[in-house]
Structure 1
Amino acid sequence: MCEIKEINKRYIDYATYNIWANNRLITDLTLLNDKLLYKEFVGSFPTICATVKHIWYAETIWLSRLKGDGNGAEAVTSFSGDNKALFSQWQATSKNFKEFTETVDLEKEIQFESKGDNFSIPSREIIQTVFNHGSFHRGQVVMMLRQLDVAKIQQTDYIEWVREKARGNI
C-alpha cells in the first residue's frame, strides 16, 4: 500500500511541475507585445499562440477522456478570447488536471477510439504522456522566443523545478 501512495505522489509531483512550468512560460509570454505571439515560424505550429492552444487542447481532451466526459475539445476549438483569457483558461485546465491526478486510480484502463482504432491505456500512461507532451511544446515555444531575440526566458525544465523545490522556493 505504501508503494502505491509513493507512485501516486510522483504523478502529483509531475502535475505540480506541469503547472509550475506552464506558469513560468505564461509569465514570460505576458511580457511580450501580443503581436509577437502571432508571428509566424516554420515548425509544428505556425505561431506561439497556436502552440499554446495546442498544449491546452491536449490537456483538455485527455482530461475529459480520463474523466469519461468525451473529448471536451469545444472549450479550446471555440475559444475566441484574448491572450490573457487564453492563459487563464490553460492555467485552469492544468490545475484541474492536477486535482484529477490527486484522486485517480492510476491503473484504471481508459478506452478510446482514434482514427478508427480502439485503444485501452492505463491512466498513468496518459497522464505522463500529457505532461511530457507539454514539455516538448514548451521547448518549441522557447525556440520561437529565441528566434524573436527574447534573451530572458525562465527555465521550465523538470530538473530546474526539482532544484527550486529543494531550495524551498516553490
Structure 2
Amino acid sequence: MIEPGYCLTMARYNAWQNGLMKTALQKLDEADLRAERGAFFGSILNTANHILWGDTLWMSRFDKGQGPDVGADESVAMTPSFAAWSAERFRMDGRILRWAEKLGTLDLKGDLEWVAIASGTAFKKPLGFCVMHMLNHQAHHRGQIHAMVTAAGGEGWVTDLPFLPEEGPWL
C-alpha cells in the first residue's frame, strides 16, 4: 500500500508545515487563537490541539510510546496555551520523524488492531492505511487552520508539497 519513503516524505512535509503554521500563529494574539470561528473544533488553538492529540494517539499505536493524557472529548484542550502547544508540537514532530526514519518495508505490513477511545469499538485495519490516515489527518485540519488564520487577518503560508525543501531542518 505504502512504502517507507512515502512516510518519511510526509513526516518531513508535516514537520515543515507545522513550523510554518507556528510562525503564522505567533503573529496572532491570544484572543485571535481562541476566538470561535465556526470550524468543526471552534478555534484555531482548539483545532491545533486536536491535530496534536490525534498524532499522539496514532503514534502510541505505531511506536508503542506514550499516548495522550486526555480523552477524545478533551482533545481540543490538550495544551492550555499556544506556548505549551508549540513545545508539544515540536516534540511530536520529532517523534514522528524519528519513527519514519527507522521504518522498513516490513514495518508497514500487516494489520493494526485497536479499540477506539471515544466509542469503545474494536477495529482492525491495514497498518499502512492507518499511517496514511494519520499523515493525511494533519493536512486536513491544518487546512482548516490556514483558512481561519487568513480570515482573522493573519498571513497564510505555502502548503504545496512540491515546495518542500530538499534539505532540513525539518524542525
Q: TM-score, normalised by structure 1?
A: 0.82
Q: 2:140 matched to which residue of 1?
A: 136
Q: 1:113 matched to which residue of 2?
A: 115
Shift of 1:44: 0.7
CA distance in 1, matches of 2:4, 2:22: 27
Q: 2:83 matched to which residue of 1?
A: 84
Q: 1:153 matched to which residue of 2?
A: 156
Q: 1:3 matched to which residue of 2?
A: none
Pairing 1:56–2:55 present: no
Pairing 1:66–2:62 present: yes
Verify the 8 A CA contact 2:21 2:157 in the aligned structure 1.
yes
Pairing 1:97–2:91 present: no
Paired residues, number? 160
Amino acid at match of 1:149: G
CA distance in 1, matches of 2:113, 2:65: 12
**Structure 1 segments (4+ residues) deviating >6 Å:** none
CA distance in 2, matches of 1:103, 1:54: 26
CA distance in 2, matches of 1:80, 1:127: 24
Q: 1:22 matched to which residue of 2?
A: 18
Amino acid at match of 1:74: D
Verify the 8 A CA contact 2:113 2:125 in the aligned structure 1.
yes
Verify the 8 A CA contact 2:24 2:157 in the aligned structure 1.
yes
Shift of 1:108: 3.8
Verify the 8 A CA contact 1:25 1:156 in the aligned structure 2.
no
Shift of 1:147: 1.5
Verify the 8 A CA contact 1:17 1:158 in the aligned structure 2.
yes
Further displaced range: 104-113 or 54-63: 104-113
Pairing 1:33–2:29 present: yes
Amino acid at match of 2:15: I
Corresponding residue SS for 1:41: coil
Structure 2: 5+ residue stretches without partners: none
1:116–1:39 Cα change, 3 Å: closer
Q: TM-score, normalised by structure 2?
A: 0.82
Structure 1: 5+ residue stretches without partners: 1-5
CA RMSD of aligned residues (A): 2.5
Q: Percent identity?
A: 23
Shift of 1:39: 0.9
Verify the 8 A CA contact 1:61 1:73 in the aligned structure 2.
yes
CA distance in 2, matches of 1:129, 1:25: 20
